[in-house]
Amino acid sequence: MITLSYALLGLLARQPLSGYDLAQYMKKRVAPMWSALPSQIYPELARLEKQGMVTYRVVEQQDHRPDKKVYEITETGREALRRWVIEPTPVAAVRDEFVLKAYSLWLAEPEQAIPHFREQERLHRQQQAQHEETLERLQREWRTALEQKDSPLFGSSLALHYGIAYERSYADWCQWAINELERHRSTPEEES
């Protein structure tokens, strides 16, 4: 199975969801760790259903909307997810276009690059704040459940702590790069 399969099983292990709901959860809850488009999710759900990892029930909709399928993880799917969670994981290859651009930044003038680093820093600080807000809300609402290792909330807490640290680190790196670029800016006297 592919990693997306396990991401979907991880969401379904928490609660039954429709394909639409899974796409929304992937966008809102899982995106800091893994992303997927709806066009990837629906075929994967069909594969998981064929493999006996999930089942679905059809829920009739009101207002002439089409019926929707609500998926549930099966015991086979839950067991596959349990095994996958404890398998060794290779170090992930990072694919970050902004860092790749930074690798060749020596070709640009610092004045051209600084605004881009400022924007990236802003975006990562914003994402960090969103993760912190979510974690604070979960701590208020669920208190010690976030510390219980057999609770889905424990996994959410682990992922949010990672997201906060990642975003803080990325934003700090951007700030360091801005400082370095500003140190190397050409002054009006140097240009004449």
Q: Where are the domains of the chain?
A: 3-86, 97-191
- Measured CA to CA in angstroms, residue 55 lies from 20, 69, 177, 180 at distances of 16, 9, 50, 55
- Measured CA to CA in angstroms, residue 188 lies from 81, 175, 191 at distances of 61, 24, 5
Give the pLDDT confidence score for residue 129 in this predicted structure: 96
Which H or E run includes 9? Answer: helix 3-12
- The CATH classification number of 3-86 equals 1.10.10.10
Q: What is the mean pLDDT of the chain?
A: 91
Model confidence at 71, pLDDT cuts 50, 70, 90, reads very high
Per-residue pLDDT of 123-144, as tens digits, reads: 999 999 999 999 999 999 988 8
